[in-house]
Structures are given as structure tokens and as C-alpha cells.
Structure 1
Amino acid sequence: MTAGGPVLAGQKPAVGFDPYADHVTASSIRFLYALNPLAKLAAPLPAMALLVFVRDAATPAAFLALSYAILLVGVSFTRRLVILLIAIPLAAAAIGLGFALWTDPAKVDQSVVIWQIGSWMLYGGALEVGLATGLRIAAIVALALIAGMSTTGPDAVRASVQQLRVPYRIGYTALAAFRFVPRFGYELEVIRQAHRVRGTHGGRGPFSAVGRWFGYVVPLMAGAIRHAERVALAMDARAFGAYPDRTERHLVPFRARDVVFIGSFLIASAAIFTVLFPWGL
């Protein structure tokens, strides 16, 4: 991904090519990749905060549909996106059923009985409350995916440093720490393969699995310490933190398109809340 957006199909990377970011090959219609990360965070944030206080099912369902429409148009159609779009409604249904079972029957409408086992009854009012809660959680998650599915960690840090004036010592140190996670995964896989080659897998069963994991700890910690030392030496060699400001090689500008996206999303959110008005009189 370049500093100004995604690498389009058939287009060569610009000079500001970032080898550490997750590169996305997408057409120009996938507009979310070209937006500033802060715009994708700021636009749905008011709706996410207000959804915490709504109690109906229509309002979160409307925001869930809006989020799905933006994701289907704005990001590339990948397997991970399909899994998430299918998993969110299923999770909402499961959460809604769980909350319906936990809801106090004395505080809901008891005119409709959905399910009865002996003296225990599941009322329609309890199911309505549970599904509304599940939809509310699903809508908040879907709104968060607008930024999560189209933003890389380096770009989010750069935008925070450049637009929010977050000290670069904090931003890039946190980014370096987060990059330890995939490094640990890679080294763990190498250690497991080395153990298999040497025939020290330890057999099968739960006790053997525990023994194998204990055998991974020492080499994994040694590799982590080596990697941390190399990162620290590399940062010291580049005089990281020696000056109050840092020259940015990759810029993440805040453009007019970002203002338009934030304004459009806020208008759509206000329209949904105004039409449905989930708080009553």
C-alpha cells in the first residue's frame, strides 16, 4: 500500500512503497483503502457510542445493514470478509438467545409464550429483549470493521502521529511491540518443525502436549530476547527518540474525501436515529 491509498491493479508501487504494510490489490471502487484511518475511525464512533443506550431492534438492524453495505462496496471481497459477514449474524442470534434465557420474566411482556418446559416458559418479550441486545452488539462490531478491514497498523500509527500529534516515541514503539506477535508465531512454527525433525514430539495425549509446550518455552524466549535486542539496536542506530520530531517517509494525508466520508456517515447516522428515535418521548 502506498502512502496515498491501495496499490491498484496494474499499477506500479510509488516511491513511498511500504514493505512492512499489508498490501491490498483493489480496484478504485474499493474506496475505504484510500481514506485516512482516522476518518474511518471517527465516522462510526458517535453511532457506536449511541448504540450502547438504545433498546430497540430496528436501530441496530439499520446500522448493521449500513455497515454491511459499506463493507461490501468499500473493501475487497475476501474469504475473511465472507466469514465475518456470516459469523456476525450467527453470533448475534446466539447472544440474543442467551440473553433471552437470562432475562427476568417478571420484567418483560408475558402475552406470548415461545417455549415451555414444565413450569418454565420463554416469553416473547424476553426473546425480543435478547435479540435486540444481540443486534446491538453485532451492529457495534460491524461498525468497527469499517476501519478494521481496510486499515493497516503502520498507517494507523502514522495517521495518529501526523494528524493527532501523538508522540512518535509512543506510536512507533507500540507498533514495534505489536509486530512481535507475528514474529512469535513464525518462530514457534520453526521450533515445532525442528522438534518433529529430531523426533522429540513426545508422543500423543494431553500430558505429552503439555510437555511439548514446555519444550517450546526456552527456545521461544531466547528467540524473543534476540529479536528484542536487534530491534533496540536498530532503533538506536537510527537515533530513535533523540529529537522531538521525526521526518516521515510515508505520509498519510487527511484529504477532502475524508471530510466527505465523515460528513456523509454522520448525516446517515443522524437520519437513522431521527426516523427510528429509539429512546421514546
Structure 2
Amino acid sequence: MSTTSIDPYATNGTHPANRFLYRLNPLAKLGAPLPVMAVLAFTRDLLTPTLCIALAVAIILIGARLTRPVALLLFVGLPVVVGIMSFSFGLWTDPGKVDQSVLLFQIGDYRFFLGALLVGLATALRLASLLVLALIGGLTSTGPDVVRAMIQQLHVPYRIGYTALAAYRFVPRFGHELEVIRSAHRVRGMAEGRGPIAAVRRTAGYVVPLLAGAIRHAERVALAMDSRAFGAHRTRTERYRVPFRARDWIFMILFWLVSATIVWWSLTAGPGPVTRG
């Protein structure tokens, strides 16, 4: 029996079966954050995105395998990026439209107030919350399982779904072929020179062989699909099922309830960054 990232009996190092997010349907993990992500596009306060980030991080810590790159992203990279974006967005904020009670610094005639920093922080937190919410499904779902779930649950035509899956498979193959082309150019002495002009010349030399390899690979895939009568019937037999179970509904409903509570509490707790209109 084949095992996948959502199979409860899959016990490999990449998708441990004792973490519940890997056992959920990919559509449940993608659909659960969508409502609150849409709401975040219209919020202007600090509390809503902050609580959404805390909720998403808690779910990832409990339900996913936290690798070192993911841990660095969540606990080091994310705060640094939020700080940089807050300051950058604050610089672009009109000083005449924010609270000017606290002056942080002044350069010439330009004054940077705390209100501008808070407005930039609100924007940065919204972007960070969207990223972390997307990681709930992105870290624990594979591209093939998402496509299979869309075909089986959303009834996307398998001709479209598996064409997208074939295109998805092209990406790592292009990376491998690019490394082969670079190695061949270095062996033949075609990668000499430094500086931006030499880099552009080398990159231009990769385009033609990479395009030729992509055409050859696409032709092989098309011939293989035709030889297997792909698209000749309305439905096809799946290698394995990606079921949508009761636990997927429970996860989505609980997530919706918690996120709705966060939004309601944030709206009633107080205003966002102070502006003048």
C-alpha cells in the first residue's frame, strides 16, 4: 500500500505519523486559513495579525515537524523582517496623517514619529501573518497530494490537474539540467570572466540548451501520456485516495471559530494605530 504525507501509517522522517497536520487533507489545511487571510487584508490594527501569527505558530509547533530552517524562519527571520518592513513602511507614511505626540528622530526637516512606526508595524504584521498562515498547509502538504485532492474532492478535470502536476515536476528537473549545463561550460572553459557583463553572458549561454532540454522532456512526457491513453476517458483510476475525513471538517471548523473569535475580540479591544484621517 502506498503511503503519503496524509497517510496515518506513513512513518518516515519527512512526514512523521504522530503529527496531526500530516494526516489532514491538503484542502483542509489550505481552506481553513482562507477566511481570516481575507479579513487580514482589511484590518488596520496590531492585535489581529499578532494573534493570527501566534495561532499559526502554535499549530505549526504542535502539528508539524519543526526543522532547523523552519525554526530559523519563524523565530529569527520573521522578527527581523517584520522590524525592517515596519521601519520601511513607516518612512513612507505621511507624517501629517499620524499621531505626532512622540518624536523618534529628525533628519533635517523630516520627522519620524511613533505613529508612523505603528502604521508600518501594522502593515508588516499583516504580511507576516499571511505568510505564517500559508505555512500551515505549505509545510505539511506535497504538490502531488494537493493536485490529487483537487481532482478527487473539487472535481477538477484530471487532464488539467495532472498537466499542472507534470509542470510542477519540471521545476526540479530544470534545476538539475542547469547544474549539468554549468558544469559542461566550466569544463570547456566557457565560464571564464568576472563581473556583471560576464555573468549576463554566461546566463545567456544557458538559455538555448535549457530550452532544448525542456522541449525534449515535454515531448517524452506527451508521448508517455498518449501511450497510456491519458485523457481518453472521463475518469481515471487513482494510484491512491486522498480522503476528506471527519477530522478535516473538525480542524476547519475549529480554526474558523478560533479565528473568528480573534477578529471579534480584536475589533472590540480598541482601535489600531492612531491616524488623523
TM exceeds 0.5? yes
Aligned AA for 2:89? F
- 1:150 deviates by 0.7
Query: Structure 1 residue 65 and structure 2 residue 79: aligned?
Result: no
Query: Structure 1 residue 110 and structure 2 residue 111: aligned?
Result: no
CA distance in 2, matches of 1:117, 1:150: 47
Q: CA 1:7–1:228 in structure 2 vs 1: closer, same or farther (change >3 Å)?
A: farther
From 49, 52, 63, give the equivalent of 1:74: 63
1:192-237 deviation digits (Å, cap 9, x = unpaired): 1122223332233333222222222222122111101110011111
- Return 82-91 or 175-184, whichever deviates more: 82-91
CA distance in 1, matches of 2:131, 2:87: 18
Kindly report which structure 2 residues correspond to 1:179-198, keeping only aligned pairs within 5 A, or say none.
Answer: 179-198=169-188
CA distance in 2, matches of 1:7, 1:185: 32
Report what 1:256 is aligned to. 246
- 1:245 deviates by 1.0
Secondary structure at the counterpart of residue 2 of structure 1: coil
Kindly report which structure 2 residues correspond to 1:1-281, keeping only aligned pairs within 5 A, or say none.
Answer: 2-3=3-4, 4-5=6-7, 8-9=10-11, 24-28=14-18, 30-85=19-74, 86-277=76-267
- 1:84 deviates by 2.2
- Structure 2: which 5+ runs fail to align? 272-277
Q: CA 1:124–1:205 in structure 2 vs 1: closer, same or farther (change >3 Å)?
A: closer
Aligned AA for 1:45? L
Report what 2:275 is aligned to. none
Aligned AA for 1:2? T
State whether residues 15 and 22 of structure 2, in contact with CA within 8 Å, keep that contact through their aligned partners in structure 1: no
Report what 2:274 is aligned to. none
CA distance in 2, matches of 1:280, 1:273: 12
CA distance in 2, matches of 1:94, 1:238: 53
- 1:280 deviates by 6.7
State whether residues 39 and 258 of structure 1, in contact with CA within 8 Å, keep that contact through their aligned partners in structure 2: yes
State whether residues 54 and 278 of structure 1, in contact with CA within 8 Å, keep that contact through their aligned partners in structure 2: no
- 1:135 deviates by 0.5
Secondary structure at the counterpart of residue 111 of structure 2: strand
> Percent same amino acid at aligned positions?
59
State whether residues 44 and 122 of structure 2, in contact with CA within 8 Å, keep that contact through their aligned partners in structure 1: yes
1:150-198 deviation digits (Å, cap 9, x = unpaired): 1100000000000001111111101111211111110010111122223
CA distance in 1, matches of 2:117, 2:201: 46
State whether residues 67 and 146 of structure 1, in contact with CA within 8 Å, keep that contact through their aligned partners in structure 2: yes
Report what 1:18 is aligned to. none
1:120-156 deviation digits (Å, cap 9, x = unpaired): 1111111111101111111111101111111100000
Aligned AA for 2:85? I
Q: CA 1:50–1:254 in structure 2 vs 1: closer, same or farther (change >3 Å)?
A: same
Q: CA 1:229–1:90 in structure 2 vs 1: closer, same or farther (change >3 Å)?
A: same
State whether residues 202 and 211 of structure 1, in contact with CA within 8 Å, keep that contact through their aligned partners in structure 2: no
Secondary structure at the counterpart of residue 56 of structure 1: coil
Secondary structure at the counterpart of residue 202 of structure 1: coil
Aligned residue pairs total 268
TM-score by length of 2: 0.91
TM-score by length of 1: 0.89
CA distance in 2, matches of 1:90, 1:252: 38
> RMSD across aligned C-alpha pairs, in angstroms?
1.9
